[in-house]
A and B are shown apart, each in its own frame.
Chain A
Amino acid sequence: AQSVTQPDIHITVSEGASLELRCNYSYGATPYLFWYVQSPGQGLQLLLKYFSGDTLVQGIKGFEAEFKRSQSSFNLRKPSVHWSDAAEYFCAVRGSGGYQKVTFGTGTKLQVIP
């Protein structure tokens, strides 16, 4: 069965600083990978996805993520964080064959300080 780990429960960064959120997955083959963001009181919004091809994926709001098969990782990055990026971020993994459930990580809560 697939699994996903987000080792950081909470991260604090200064506005304008760079950001990297970590995500490690476990799956026997090449998975589908996702990052979602959830603002308080809202549903999850898809930031970016990886299905195949280029391992560096660009998403909305200036985010990007890189799929590294050798490290089983799909870390999320942003070069300069804005106060509006404060939210909870979820990494998710799904097997690539047929129907398979999407497994969500436990989330990383991002705090942005002025």
Chain B
Amino acid sequence: DAGVIQSPRHEVTEMGQEVTLRCKPISGHDYLFWYRQTMMRGLELLIYFNNNVPIDDSGMPEDRFSAKMPNASFSTLKIQPSEPRDSAVYFCASSPEGRGNYTFGSGTRLTVV
């Protein structure tokens, strides 16, 4: 298994631009999580899906952030418009049962200038 695949690995964009981060979870994992990691705030859960349905999006910082999971093998996290304070590493993780035993992707390092 190739694990959780995220793209792109690095993204540099200008303030105000739309950014789309992509994730392919492990086949058969029913849970998908989006996390953000910064030095100041550590790891923050943004949103999670169960069987492609968003269950808890209370961690999404504001309306500029949106996430979708159109099928079991693909999810996107979109930021529109992006701001410098969105600069962080964004991780996607999947899990077969959602109890906390996650497989993380390698992350997308986002820099908004």
Name A's B-contacting residues (CB within 8 A): 32, 34, 36, 41-46, 49, 51, 90, 92, 94, 99, 101-102, 104-107
Contact = CB atoms under 8 A, between A and B. Distances in A.
Contacts of B42: 104-107
Contacts of B34: none
17 contacts: A34-B100, A41-B106, A42-B106, A43-B4, A43-B93, A44-B104, A46-B102, A46-B103, A90-B43, A92-B100, A94-B99, A94-B100, A99-B98, A101-B45, A102-B100, A106-B42, A107-B42
Nearest to A33: B100
Contacts of B104: 36, 43-45
Contacts of A102: 45, 100, 102
Nearest to A93: B100
A104 B4 CA distance: 20
B25 interface: no
Residue from A32, A43, A51, A104 whose CB has the most chain B CB atoms within 10 Å: A43
B91 A51 contact: no
Contact of B101 (A34, A105, A106): A34
A99 B101 contact: no
Query: 5 shortest A-B CB distances, which residue pairs?
Result: A43-B104, A94-B100, A104-B43, A102-B100, A44-B104
A43 B94 CA distance: 12
Nearest to B107: A43
Contacts of A46: 101-103
B101 A43 contact: no
B22 to A, nearest CB: 15
Contacts of B107: 42-43
A63 B100 CA distance: 18
Interface in B61-113: 91, 93, 98-107
B100 A49 contact: yes
A3 B111 CA distance: 30
A90 B4 CA distance: 19
Interface string B38-55: 000011010000000001
Interface in B14-38: none
Residue from B56, B91, B93, B100 whose CB has the most chain A CB atoms within 10 Å: B100
